[in-house]
Chains A and B, each alone.
Chain A
Amino acid sequence: MGSGERYRSGSELPLTGNLDECREEMTELFGETKDLRMEDLQIGQKQAMLLYLLTITDAQLLTERVLQPIGRLPVEQSVASVDEFEQLCAKMLGGSAHVILHTNQDAVQKILEGFSVIVMEGVSAAVAIFTEGGGKRGIQEPTTQTIVKGPKDGFVEDLRTNLSLLRKRIRNHKLRIETFTIGTDTGTNVCLIYMKGIANEGIVEEARKRLQDIRTNAVFETGNIEEFIADKTITPFPTVYSTERPDAVSAHLVSGKAAIVVDGTPFVITLPTVFNDFMIAPEDYYQSFMMGSFLRLIRYLSFMFALMLPSLYVSVITYHHELIPTPLLISVISQREGVPFPAVVEAFLMEVTFEILREAGVRMPRAVGGTISIVGGLVIGQAAVEAGIISNTMVIVVALTAISSFVAPYYIFSISSRLLRFGLIVLGGVFGLYGVFLGLMVMVGHLCGLRSFGVPYLAPIAPFIMKDQKDIFIRLPVWASKLRPQMLKPDSAVKQQESESPSPPPVYPSERRGKRKSKGDQP
């Protein structure tokens, strides 16, 4: 069990078995907090004390796992040594998760994790029984990555539920879960999950090391972890993949990636991540490979749209009139007639307006949701065009760009195109197409330099890996790809050796037999 930097409360001293001393120490640590319960118990002949935090303890579990077994103990039961205590616990609490503790520190830790701790008079050990409770959200459909066909469950805020969702999908002894406690103030449980023997050992080791090296006070979301463990680069592109979908995480795990689950958030991150991961939706694999491939091409196209469309429009309109077919040019000119701003300013204005609208749409309370579409779409969009401030074509360009940016199956990925778009608009307005393409070149150069846990970000396109091409721009049928992604250098490369799609039998056997028989019978 690894443990990150954490404020360790309580003395390193062993438990003495003196109840008053223990009570004093706990009172000193927790102070007057209302939810710490220290209840006196009688276990057989001995005095004992039950400690738990009321707010995170399930009363029913407490009764079932602690109070009822104690009540069933014979009255003459007496415990004198640690050995006897351990035996008693094994007998009394067998089947419910319990841990024998020897120091005050451990006891405090367990109480904070939602365990109930029993300290016994005269025994220099304590037992912690898992009784965690508290509010939990039920499993629901993920809100950020919805699909039409495929599993509908999503991760929730509870770590154990999330782990169970993964375990249930991958029923394999190779699935390993390692726990870390991160955050000196929050002491959050963080799990590193991988498939032993499939995931590259080096990558897992690197992830483990990076998790252990995190020095922070609070972790509330995988995003907090993400910034600590991502490779040291300033980039608008995400270098880890975070998702709400257990099926996506499971697929990543069996392809040789590692996952990090953080208690308290439904987002799980997987790593290493390459550019292409963000163009893949889990649904690609749940529907026909032709449709999956087609949608993937659409996604690449719409990424390019989201990134470049306004800047291309601006540069063509401002510098390269000869590139537009004459009828289109005439119609563009007639629409731009009387627009007071240069195309760059116009594009900037509209893009910023759109970003404001989007931000408002995300943040505002649901109840006023309709307002945004009326104010945004009608008032700003239509009125601006009718007032002659913005041209119609620009509205079309901005709208297409906006819609394209929502196509990315992974919402966070559109951040990169949203940010870079503005840079490209400026370049397009200043240098024309020349500037836009210079900008793209710098962007591609930057992408080539990115790495995620040692895997090049543009793999398997740059560096080119032929074996991985079956699942990049197009998805071949599942039986056609026999290897796990080679760019991840998995410890076991082959995923399905003897896989082939069945060809139909020459003639349907029973039919043939039937016919022969009837013929033979006749004479």
Chain B
Amino acid sequence: MLSVIVFLPLAAAVALVAVPRLGDTPARWAWVAVSAVDLALVAVLWVRYDTPPAGGLDSSQQVPWIPGVNSSYHVGVDGLSLPLVAMTAVIFLACAVYALRERHRPRGQAALFLFLQSVSLGVFVAADLILFFVFFDLSIVGMFFVIAGWGHGNQAHSALKFFLYTFLGSLALLAGFIGLYVAADPHTFDMPQLVAATPLAGRPLAGGLVLAAILLGLAVKTPTVPFHTWLPPAHTDAPAVGSAVLAGVLLKMGTYGFVRIGMPMLPQAWRAWAWVIITVGVVSVIYGALVALAQSNLKRMVAYTSVNHMGYIVLAVGVAGLAANDTAQARTVAVSGAVTQMVSHGLITAALFLLAGVLRERAGTYDVHEYGGLAAAAPAFATLFAVGAFASLGLPAFSGFIAEFQIFTGSIAAAPATAVALLGILITAALFLRALQRVFTGEIRGKSVGFADLRAGERWSIGPLLLLSLLIGVLPRPLLDVIEPAAQTVIGLLGR
């Protein structure tokens, strides 16, 4: 079941490339159809999901791959991965619908995105470090071609910067994995076994170095300050669907790695370095928000708010490492908030990037000064953008509120100093309101003149993303019921 979900898009991608002389329209619709089927399968997976016992995985499957180094094809889901799997399937379907009007090599684009969908799902279900790395690395290759092949502006340079940066990060990650493997007895790359064994438990120096390598790899991908510099150019020059996938799905691979690999496998080192992680998180929150405030390029602004939003997650997972038994409850809330934030940010930012793509497609620029009074010219666009902006700044009734509320409740209870990060919310609110005011209010002027409103494909791709965010904001229980047991498990593992 899980393997079908992961490899169905890949099989479709191969078929798309292999079938000669397939027309553009069938290719576009094949992409939509495959993504829809995959999402349906994920829905079935969710319905049949049973919370596994602590440390266990649901729907797991294990086949030996390289027995010589104890690496296997081992997949499974739990409360940390299932929400991300579902979010990934949703975002890719939204991108498929959005791209129905793509004119530039649509067949190649469909194949490439289906490939990306496979590897993204693969990262989230992998229960073996090498398998995780395989998918992690391939996602970089796929995104490189998305930016280089379908981007605009200085895309070759941005794509290269993205590739080199994240590839460096992935190799640091691999070095950390090998460190874990060598330290474990018996040597293994299997995640549940490593979690149970906690290699390097009694060796603070080696544990710290291995954790540093893993954190470096994940921090580049997340990205956190000071490893975020690849992100703004990559987003600015990527196509809209590429940005949506990059921000919505690929960034989560970094934060997912924190809760899946860093915290449970190296609990002692994680606790020792908790304050460093918290600091990086807080700095990312404030810095990301401030730089976003300074942008006049709308897409760049959304990109920097991603740094800010990822900062909340880093903050929460850092707080989780503050050892004190009386705060276990609070820290569980923080971790649960972090996972909720991953899902929430994925949905909202993907929607915002798709909306930014509409701006460029219609008027050729992201500059907020070029627009004015767009609400009158394109009411549907304005509505969705306003909804997205409010969701992003954490307005109650949206998923972002649920996530950030949990993060701050947990963090401030465990470490009051982290209240500084609340400033981030304030600045984000200011910058979104300012952007809304510049672009949408006032008289119709500049590029707003003759701006066509959203088409059906655009509404049906962006709308559901925001609707889901609203749904999670109003009815968070189904999601939290899945996440909370897993968050408890992580906190329990961290306490060892």
Tell me if chain B binds chain A.
no
